[in-house]
Every structure is written in C-alpha cells, then in structure tokens.
Structure 1
Amino acid sequence: MTDEEVIHLRPSEQEALPEDFQLRVQLCEQLASFVSPRRLERLEFALAHRTRWITVALEDVFQTHNASAILRSCDCFGVQDVHVVDERNEYTIHRQIALGAAQWLDLYRHTGADSAEAVDRCCKSLKSSGYRLVATTPHEGATDLDDVDVGRGPMALLFGTEYTGLTEVAMDHVDEAIRIPIVGFTESLNVSVSAALILKQLTTSLRNRGDVDGRLSESEQVDIRLAWLRRSMRHGEAIIRRFLTDNGVEPVTSETGEVGPQQIVPDVDIDEVADI
C-alpha cells in the first residue's frame, strides 16, 4: 500500500464480475431468484432511494461510536458513499452501533504521508469528482441548515474531529459552511447527532425538489444491487462462480478462496440480514 492510494475499505467486488452490462443484469436476476420476495422488496426500496448527490467525508473522527453512528445515519437516509481520513485516529466500526450499515455503503480511506496531506488529497479528489465541499460548523457566519440549497450541485459534507472540528487544511478547500441553529447555551451538538440532522434535512430537501435528480444511474444501481445481493446470501459466491463459468467468464479468486478480493469491513451477519 503506497501513500498515494485511495483505499476502498471494502475492496471492489466488481473485479470478479463480468464487464458486460447485460451479463451483470442477468447475474442480478440469477441472484435475486434465490432471495425471498420480502427481502428483495426491501433491497429495491433502499436502492431506489440511494444517492451520490450528497456524500460524507470524515476527518479523524475520534470516537468509534460516533463514526459508526454516522455510517448508520448515511444508510438510513440513503447516502451511498463515505470518505474517511484517519491518519491520526484509526477509523474502526462499532458493530452494535453501526448495526450492519457498513455492508450497504461504499467506504473510501484517503491516505498521505501525514494527516494534512491525506486531508488535502481527499478534498482534491472530491472536488475533481464534481463535489462542492461543505463544512459543518457551529460558528456564526455559516449558512443555517434550513437555508442550504441542495440544487446548486453535488455536495460533500465534511465532519471533523469531536475536539477541534475540521483542520485548517480542510477549511482551505471548503466552498461553503453550514450550521444547525442553536438557541440554547451549549455551542454545538455531538458530531453524530449533527450528521443525522443534517443528512435528514438535506436528503429530504433533495427528494422533494422537482428540478434535481439525485438518484443513481442505471449502471450504478446494477453494480450496487449486485454487491448487496451477494453480501446477503450464504451461498452467493458459489452461485456467482457457477454463473461466470456457464457464461465463459474467468472468475478472479482471492487468497481466501472466495470469488473477488477479501472484504475488509466486518462480515455480514446473515441472520441479521434475513430480518431486513
């Protein structure tokens, strides 16, 4: 692993799947035939409400329970991508708090020679992908959450460490700042609570607009549907391997013997998934 890499916390499973779009659609149909109608309906409902118009970037969030709670909020409100910089505080997922949310998200870790460089690269990467960087801050001068215009373009919400907030490096890249209006004596909310309130407000605003389509593209939906189906089945890898063989596609096998790279985030608890 080099300093220059952006590491996907769950290595891309797409490498093991056919590049041909129609084959991927057929593989989705094959996997879906092994899933109960109730579970499939839940997956499709969640997928229809997923968005990449809004994304989240976490800069050295210190407390594991806060980081995990933010993942849970991203899943609950349909935000698919989360970017992480953890050069100072290693990013870990608390299973009981995240409640499996990480399995349904795409998580990216940005690295560098030091924390400042990692933050700089993360911000530049998001901007190059078309996002405007939005700092979340309790300070005066920021736009009140109720007044934020989600229609101005895709937005990456930046959340900083619980103790000092976003660093100067991150703030130097920021296009705008937003705040949750506070009328009490306490200056700010817990970072995970702030994230939940902001995500609920902005995703609701996005879906209520008629002039902005924040939904995933058809290709993105197929890729995510494939990932979700394979993670929610006990024998998904065997079914995929058979499909690839039957269609003349050479499967890519990891060192663990499974099709595709090894998953880094906690494994799916199939018994929990069965309840979705």
Structure 2
Amino acid sequence: MSDVVEEGFDEGQAWLTIDGERWAAERIIHHLGAMLADPRRARMEAVLKRRLGSVALAVEDLHHSHNGAACVRTAEAFGVQDVLTIEGENAFPLFDSEADAGGVRKITKQTQRWVSFHRQRSSAELRAFADARGMQLWGAAPQGAATLADVPADVPVVLIFGNELEGLRRETQAACDGVFRIEMAGFVESFNVSVSVGICLHTQMTRRRAIIDAPGDLPYQRQRALLARWIFEDVRAARPILRRLRTEGVTPE
C-alpha cells in the first residue's frame, strides 16, 4: 500500500500517478504485466471481475489494530473494493505508525494491498463522499430502528460501523440515510465490530449480486486502473524498471 501511487480513470482511459508522474494504465499492464507469471495475472483479472463498487465499508475511529485488520481482510474476501476510514480522533490502525505492524500483517494477510482506502476526518466528509457517488449511508447500531434486512440492495450503499467502545457516534448516525441493527436472540446486545462487519457484508454483497445478476460491477476502466496498480505493487523493482523504460524512449502515456 503506497501513499505515492494512486489510480484514476474516466470513461475512456485509466492511469496511475506514481511519485507525481502519470502513467497510462495500459503501459503499466503491458510492460510490467509481462513480468508476472500468467496464473498470477489471471487471478488478478478474475478477482477484479468479482469486485463490487456499489457496496462500500466504512469504519469510524477504531481503537485496536487487530479489529481494523480483521475488517479489511473480511471486506476484501467478500469482494468489497472501497474501504472508508473516518479518523476524527484515532488514526486507522493500518495507518498508525505506533500500531503492531507485524501483528496487523498477520491478520490482514496483506489484503490491504488489494482494496482502495478513502480516509476522512468527519461524518460530513463521509456524507460528501457518498453523495458524490450516488450512494446511501447506512449505519450499524444496536438501537437502530431498521434491521439488516431493511438496508436497500437495489441502490449503492456504504455500511458504517463505529468503534469498539462507543459504537457509532450520534453525529454520524444523523448523517445516515438509515440506522440498522443486527437482530439478536441471546442476552448480548452487540457483536465484536469485525464480526458485525462480516455478517453485514456477507448479507449485503449476496443480495446486491442477486439484484444486479452479476458477480461484480466495477467499470471497465476502473478495473484496468486497479490491475495496473496491483501489477505495479506486485513486481519487485517496479520503479527502477519504469525509469529504465523512460531512458529507452517509452513514454508514460
């Protein structure tokens, strides 16, 4: 996961911005993709076809690194591409320099490499993110008026989960289109946050795929941008290779 490699796309093209320089995604795929074993690249392409951009995960001010890592691993496993982190008070564990990096990697199994993170500082920024993409916000809370079954699957949604101690903040709940609960049959009132994420994502992703009648819904150009990033981050010495290509006359775009 790199702060200086960003993917971008529009209807007609896809690109990577690497250390401030923009490269066409197809250039990266052509030159660096040739260095991957065929099964490795084929696996990347197959996974991209099962990615959903219409269901996103958001987590707010998590305290414990193992919970953040488990949420990311769960999201990636179910095919979520976008993970939003609201960091009003606490840095998300994967971005916290004081977190147990080795322990985090052990839990995530490096799945953070395959998702797209969107960092926000407030529920207002989260609301703006959703509005810009035509998505509804649905927050998880034990006192929610709706149930998980009430969360719409016929529109794109962001599912939001609060931290381990306080749950979802009131201002974040107020920014949501709806607040839902996971119905319980026992004495406890709530699950661990990573368990809640797993239950809700599995349910919502299954329902969404049934409605769109497809395993994934990422636009083609976004798939190409992501494939380029995945290849770039998978190839050792990718940066020196690109610098050599520039000296040989290969243009970035």
- Is 1:126–2:126 an aligned residue pair? no
| Structure 2 contact 85–120 (Cα < 8 Å) conserved | yes
| Structure 1 contact 10–107 (Cα < 8 Å) conserved | no
Matches within 5 A, 1:154-193: 154-193=156-195
Q: Where in structure 1 are there 5+ consecutive unaligned residues? A: 1-7, 112-117, 251-276
> Which amino acid in the other structure matches residue 234 of structure 2?
S
| Structure 1 contact 83–107 (Cα < 8 Å) conserved | yes
Hey, which of these two has a bigger chunk of strand by percent? 2
Tell me which residue corresponds to 2:145: 141
- Identify if the C-alpha distance between structure 1 residues 244 and 209 changes in structure 2 by more than 3 Å, giving closer, same or farther: farther
Tell me which residue corresponds to 1:98: 108
Matches within 5 A, 1:1-276: 10-13=3-6, 14-16=16-18, 18=22, 23-93=24-94, 94-111=104-121, 118-139=122-143, 141-143=145-147, 145-151=148-154, 153-210=155-212, 215-245=217-247, 246-249=249-252
Comparing 232-241 with 167-176, greater Cα deviation is found at 232-241
RMSD: 2.3
Percent identity reads 28
| Structure 2 contact 49–216 (Cα < 8 Å) conserved | no
4+ long deviations beyond 6 Å: none
Shift of 1:36: 1.0
Aligned length: 232
Please give the TM-score of this superposition, normalised by the length of structure 2. 0.83
Q: Where in structure 2 are there 5+ consecutive unaligned residues? A: 7-15, 95-103
Shift of 1:129: 2.3
- Identify if the C-alpha distance between structure 1 residues 142 and 100 changes in structure 2 by more than 3 Å, giving closer, same or farther: same
Shift of 1:249: 3.5
| Structure 2 contact 33–231 (Cα < 8 Å) conserved | yes
Distance across 2 between alignment mates of 1:90 and 1:60: 7
The SS at the match of 2:199 is helix
The SS at the match of 2:58 is strand
The SS at the match of 2:56 is strand
Shift of 1:212: 7.5
| Structure 1 contact 206–214 (Cα < 8 Å) conserved | no
The SS at the match of 2:93 is coil
Please give the TM-score of this superposition, normalised by the length of structure 1. 0.76
